[in-house]
Structure formats: structure tokens, C-alpha cells
Structure 1
Amino acid sequence: MKTTVLFIIISIFSLTTYSQSQKDSLNKVFQERIKNIKEDQSDNPYYTQEELQNEYKNEINTFKDLAKPSENSDLANHFKIYLEKKLLKKIDFSSIKWSTFYKDVSKNKTDLSVRLTFELSKTGKATNCRINSRDKELEKKIIEVFKKFPLEKLGIKESDKSGKISVQLFAREDNETVIKASQFAVVDVPPVIKGCEDSTLYWQINKCLYDRLYDYILKNISLKTLNSQELRGEIICRPRFTINSEGKITNVNSIAPNKVIKDEIDRVILSFNEIIEPGKRNNVPKNTYCDTFRTITIENLK
């Protein structure tokens, strides 16, 4: 009786060694496959629509309590000086999504605002600035103006290099777009995993978390279970889970090519116990939603 030996490679989809045309081509193929896996698992949402709406409202309330946006904040006055008022008319609040996690939340008056997120470089400068407005010219100008603002006025410290930082800039009130900006920055720090203690920048901590987790999956996933599915080649999986405010993994609900593989990935993730500290928002422990796409290549060894 022939014995089948499996070789499993778990990898991040990376385009760094390709030309731009190859990157575009590969990215298009990968995005199409992601779209297909989402459609195939449309009956497997992470939250119900009601739960998602409640999470959205809770996030907004928490953010505003900390950021304290005001039309007379230092940041607001800075934008009044350096941003042409006519540019405010270009902001389309119906298209702005400050978080892709809430992209399916129905638009309402709960929050009509524009946020800018960024990280701190090794030298303490704002880097990787993002605004999801779909207007590249407007975004470029807003980021240009923001980078002239002294970050210390937002209460940002050296230790905040480990977080993703968010500020509100604009709001829609009484059918008018106004400059209503944060008085304080909101800093979200990801959970810290064993072996990642020396990482200091946000992207380093985040990358280390997923790298350690996938190394764990590679070592603990059941080859017998995968072999029973007779799948070979490259497949895409989308692990989704929450690390709660106590540093425990909960609500594991991955997406995979079928339920058997999904359940196996969920099982391994639930057994992962290398979390040292939970994620934090302005130093207060919080629930952190984790979501990423990875490819798994399964091959026979002959």
C-alpha cells in the first residue's frame, strides 16, 4: 500500500521580487481568488449585520471620547490656515471608509467624519499616512498639510512608535463639511507575542504576530486531515479571530476552501497560547480583530 507524504508550505503572498508589470498581474490574479473565496463563504460572516453595526457604534464612541475632536483644536486651526477651503467641497462622505472592517455597515448619521491614520518612523516622523477618500489629489494635499503639524501637540510620545495612530480631521454637520479635528491622537497597539518583544515599530509587531502564528500553524496542522481532502497545489485561507482584552484568542472563524480545512485551521489557532500582552488603545487593553490572507501550498513528496 502506497503511503502519501505531504509537504506543506505556508506563505505570505509577496510581490517584492517582481517587476511592476508582474506585480500588477499577480496582484490581479490574487485579488480575483480572494473575491472568489469571499463569495464561496458568503454564508460564513464574522459578525451578523446587527453585531457589526453595534461594533461600529462602539468604536466611534470610544474614538471620539479619546480624540475629543473640536473646530478650535490646534490641529483644526492648522488646517484652516494651510488647506484651501474650496477643497472641502471635494470630500464625498458616502465613499469614505476609515476602516475596511466596517465597509459593509450601512451609512447613517452615526459618524460622518474623515480620519487620517499613520505610524511613526524610527525618527519620530509621520509615515504611511492613509485617508480612504478615493480622491488621490485631495489625499495628497491633506497629508502634505498634516505633515507640517507638530505631532507633540497631539500628545504623541516616543513609545507610540509601536502603534497605529488615528486622528479625525473633518466632519459633516448640518449638510456642511467643517474642519473638526482631534485634540488628541488615538493610538492602537497590536498584541505582543512571545518572540516579538524586541519589535518596536507598529508594522514590526504586527508582522511578527502573524509570522509566529503561521509558523505555529505549520507545525501543528494535521497532515492526516489535509490528506483526507485530496487537495494539492496552492490554496488560499483567511484566518479570522479576536484576541480579547485579556490576551486570549476567541471568536475564531476562518475562511478556507471547505469546512474540514476551516475547522482544522480554527482548531490550531485556538490552541495558540503565546500571547504576552493584549492589544491596547491609549494604553487600555482592548479586543483586537485579526484578519489576513495567506496561501498554503500542499505538495506530495515522492
Structure 2
Amino acid sequence: MKNLLLIILFFHFSIGFSQTEPKSFRDKFEEFEYYAKPSTTNDLSRYFKRNIDYALLENYKFKDTLRKNSAVVLSFKLDKNNSVIDLEVSSPYSELNFVIKKAFETYDLKNINIPEKSPLNNYILQILSREGNKMIVNCSSDIIYDRFPVFEGCESSSTFSENRSCLNALLEEHFGKNISTDLIKKKKILGRLLLKPEFMVTESGTVEKVKWKTASDSLTVETNRIIAFFPKAKTPPTRNGNPTRLYIKEFVDLEINSANENYIESTIKSKDTTLNPNSELALHFKKFIKEQEISNYILPNDKPIINISFSLDKNVKMLNIKSNAKKQEINEKLVEVFKKFPFEKLNIKSQNVLETYYYTIFTVEHNKKIVIHCNENPDIFSESYFDQRCEKSSSPEDLKFCFQEKITNQIVKNFDTSLITQNDINNGIRLICIVQINVDGTLSRINAMNTNPKYSNELDRIIKKMPKVYRPAYWKGMPIKTTYAIPISF
């Protein structure tokens, strides 16, 4: 059974510290305030009041009522020479984060009482907090320093990051030894499987599961089963030297491989019933290119599905034929072979100059195994239409340009220019607004990059007032969500 499946796991996880039982904290926020003792009048607050533009705080917008988003904290670590590294700020505004970072970099660290300087700690300072509907400077009087739990085998770790990486390795080994091969076979899992388990390391070092979900109930039960008997930490997590609780949320990337060819074949067939290894297009590619030949060109970051895409001109001639392969050699080879296939055999029933047609050529399976199998009818994608005038576009690229140009014009036309200062004009203003088009045609702003709160709020206001687009994007005959990065310059 053990040689049937080879399981490789990669872990990426984020962490958050929670309550300390001996102090009887109600929640992690009370614990934080107990240690940080924030004050609007301490030396650190007076320093940041002099170094943060008030306008950045005046326009700070709260998007929800979650307490964790009601404060802005600065975190960092120390290297072996006690120099600051990994400096991060938690606000959603890039310009505000930049200002806070630059101010802290010129602040004399000697003015902060750090009881325990160690590369094993993660240091946290509150800089801002919510007061009513405003964000104010309210800095920590005392620094918080968190330390990761130490598990057996990780005692020699010399930094916070090394200790966390060591736990990754232990978890990888633990999952690899204990995951059920019967469940993997039953679920027909092959290749990548992404899980998102969550668990708690307690004040005593024990590991406790928390509520979470995977793609199926059986996988949830299995991961909880494995976490339940993960060994206790030799040293529990600590906050300011006292035992605390550490909440861990992971992204567990499993690579499932097998030596059983029947299992591989049946699993691949179950993934996508539209892909046929004996279709005319698949057999055409097999005549000109071998699966092993393709394997030599595949890169680790290649997508698992390699396809050919193209559009049509008004004379039904193929344009912009390309593949999504990362390497130029395989890209050119696939396009060259595809051009030799008779167009009339592609079964393109809907011939529209504004659509893009996709044919899967091969999939990259476990251990870079290549399977040539193609869809007999094209998968079709069409861009969003901002308004009916965009229907006059001559190509998918022209349609996309029309869509983005009209959104840009709407933003520039409705932007409140009184917000723009002379200093901003002198420095130049370039915003990148990430807009999502929903399946019902409504618009929502996902993010704004390289901006400060007043511009971000103005983009929010404009996007919310925009009417629905004339037509959302379509994929395989169904409306889908799409995102666009809209550059705005003044």
C-alpha cells in the first residue's frame, strides 16, 4: 500500500496570537491592550503625530466592523545584529503604510524598551486605532514580542522564521506518514490537492483542531484526524514571555503520485469528460509531437492545462494564435502543428470576431507526465461590453480596450479634482484601480494600488455610482466574474 502513492506536502501558513489563560483575558484584543498599553500621549505617539500627514488619517475609511481592522499595527523582527528586518504595516493603504515605515526607520530603536532582543521573536507595535469613525495616532507604550512554539527536532532554530519552517517540515512528515491512501484512491486524487486546515497550539503546547472545511467532508474529517495526534510542543508559544495561544491557518499543498497505471488512467478520465485522447485534433498532435518531447520543455510554474487560443477576423481567418506554455520553444512548436490542422474540422459553430476560442492540447499530470487529449468543440470566451457601442469593436483586443477606455473616462470625468493638491500634481498621480465585473453586470472595486485614503475613497464613490455594464464576460456560454486593472493618471 505504501508504494502505491507518493505524497509530497508543501505548507504556507499565517499566524495570529490569541488569549493567555493565566491572565483570564476575554479575547485577544484585551490581551493585546494589556501588554501594549496604547496611549495617545506617549513619546511614540507624539513622534508619529509629527510624521504622519493628518489628511491620510482624516480620509481613512472603515469597510467593516471587525475589531481586527480597527487598529493599524507595525511588526518587525531583529537579525543577529539587532537590526530591524521584515518591517510590515497592516493598513489597507499603500501610501499610509509607506509613511509609517519611513517614519519608523528613522526612529531611534533605543527609545523603545525591548526587554528581550532575539531573532526568535516577532515584535508588534500599535500605531493607529479607531476612535468613533476616525483613525487616530494611538501608539503602544510597551512593545509586544511573540515567540513561536518549539517542537521536538526544532530546538536548534535560531530565528522566528527558521522555527516556523521547522514546524512545516514536521507537519509535512506527519501528514505524509498518516494520510489515508484508501481515501485518496476513493476520491480519485492525483496530482495537486490543496487543503486549508486550521488549528490551535495552546498555552500548554498541545495541538487542538478548530472548525474548518475542505473540498469534501471526508477530507475535512481526515485532516482533523491527522492534526488530532500531532505531538505536543516542547515549549508553548509565548507573548511577552508568558504562555499564550497560537492560532495557525495553513495552506497545505499535497502532490499525490502513483505507480499504478490503471489508477492514473481512470483518475485522468474522471477529471474532464470533454477531453478525448482519440479526437482528430489529439491524433493530429500525436503525429507531430511526442509526449516525452513536451515533457522536456515543461517548467515547474507551467499551468496544468496547456491550450491553444485564437480569434477570427471578418473573413473567418485565424488571428493571434498562441499557447499558454511558458517556454518559447514549446509555444512555437504547438502553434506550428496547430496551423497544419484543417480549419473545417475544428467544429466552430459560432464564428464571431469578438470571441476568443480555446482548445486544450495536453495536460500536465503528476511527475510532469504529459497527456495529449483535446476538446472536440472549442471553449469560447468573450470580454465584457461596457456599453452597446463596444459591439462595434473589430477584435477581442479592441473590445477589451473599448471596455477599459470607457471605464477610465468615467472615472476621470467624475473624479473630484478638488481633492488633488498642488504637491500631488508636482509629483504626478498614477492610480491603479482593480475593478471586478460581477455576473449580473454590476461593478465593484477590489483594490486601489499606489494611492492614499482620499483617492481610494473617491474611486469607491465613483465605482458605486456606475451603472451595470451592457454585458458581463462569458466563458463556455455562462457569465463569469472578471477583474480589470485600470490605470488612472493625472
1:161 aligns with 2:151: no
Measure how far apart 1:227 and its partner are.
2.2
1:152-178 Cα deviation digits (max 9, x unpaired): 433224544222221111233355443
Relative to its length, the structure with more strand (as a share) is 2
Q: Which residue of 2 aligns with 1:232?
A: 190
Q: Which residue of 1 aligns with 2:50?
A: 81
For residues 209 and 155 of structure 1, the distance between their equivalents in structure 2, rounded to whole angstroms, comes to 30
SS of 1:276's equivalent in the other structure is: coil
For residues 225 and 192 of structure 2, the distance between their equivalents in structure 1, rounded to whole angstroms, comes to 21
1:59 aligns with 2:28: yes
Q: Which residue of 2 aligns with 1:280?
A: 238
Q: 1:177 to 1:235 in 2, by over 3 A?
A: closer
CA RMSD of aligned residues (A): 2.7
**In the alignment, residue 232 of structure 1 is paired with which amino acid?**
L
Q: Which residue of 2 aligns with 1:7?
A: 6
1:132 aligns with 2:90: yes
Q: Which residue of 2 aligns with 1:292?
A: 250
Q: Which moved more, 1:216-225 or 1:279-288?
A: 216-225
Which of 59, 66, 71 matches 2:40? 71
Measure how far apart 1:282 and its partner are.
0.7
1:90-143 Cα deviation digits (max 9, x unpaired): 433x14xxxxxxxxxx61789833222222233222222222322112211111
1:58-84 Cα deviation digits (max 9, x unpaired): 111111111111122121122133333
TM-score when scaled to structure 2?
A: 0.47
**In the alignment, residue 49 of structure 2 is paired with which amino acid?**
K
Q: 1:260 to 1:81 in 2, by over 3 A?
A: same
**In the alignment, residue 76 of structure 1 is paired with which amino acid?**
S
The percent of aligned pairs where both chains have the same amino acid is 25
Q: 1:244 to 1:158 in 2, by over 3 A?
A: closer
1:215-261 Cα deviation digits (max 9, x unpaired): 11112222233223222221111121111111111134453332222
For residues 7 and 249 of structure 1, the distance between their equivalents in structure 2, rounded to whole angstroms, comes to 26
TM-score when scaled to structure 1?
A: 0.73
**In the alignment, residue 47 of structure 2 is paired with which amino acid?**
H
Is residue 205–residue 232 contact of structure 2 (8 Å, CA) maintained in 1? no
Q: 1:90 to 1:110 in 2, by over 3 A?
A: same
Q: Which moved more, 1:62-71 or 1:263-272?
A: 263-272
Q: 1:176 to 1:257 in 2, by over 3 A?
A: closer
SS of 2:177's equivalent in the other structure is: helix
Higher RCO structure, 1 or 2 (CA under 8 Å, sep 6+): 1
Aligned pairs for 1:1-302 (under 5 A) are: 5-12=4-11, 58-92=27-61, 94-95=62-63, 107=65, 112-173=70-131, 175-302=133-260
For residues 176 and 258 of structure 1, the distance between their equivalents in structure 2, rounded to whole angstroms, comes to 43
Q: Which residue of 2 aligns with 1:21?
A: none
Equivalent pairs counted in the alignment come to 248
**In the alignment, residue 124 of structure 1 is paired with which amino acid?**
N
SS of 1:296's equivalent in the other structure is: strand
Is residue 119–residue 163 contact of structure 1 (8 Å, CA) maintained in 2? yes
Mark the structure with the bigger radius of gyration: 2
Q: 1:219 to 1:4 in 2, by over 3 A?
A: closer
For residues 68 and 186 of structure 2, the distance between their equivalents in structure 1, rounded to whole angstroms, comes to 48
Q: 1:236 to 1:89 in 2, by over 3 A?
A: same
For residues 214 and 67 of structure 1, the distance between their equivalents in structure 2, rounded to whole angstroms, comes to 35
For residues 243 and 214 of structure 2, the distance between their equivalents in structure 1, rounded to whole angstroms, comes to 30
Q: 1:175 to 1:216 in 2, by over 3 A?
A: closer
Q: 1:232 to 1:176 in 2, by over 3 A?
A: closer
SS of 2:253's equivalent in the other structure is: strand
**In the alignment, residue 6 of structure 2 is paired with which amino acid?**
F
Is residue 73–residue 89 contact of structure 2 (8 Å, CA) maintained in 1? yes
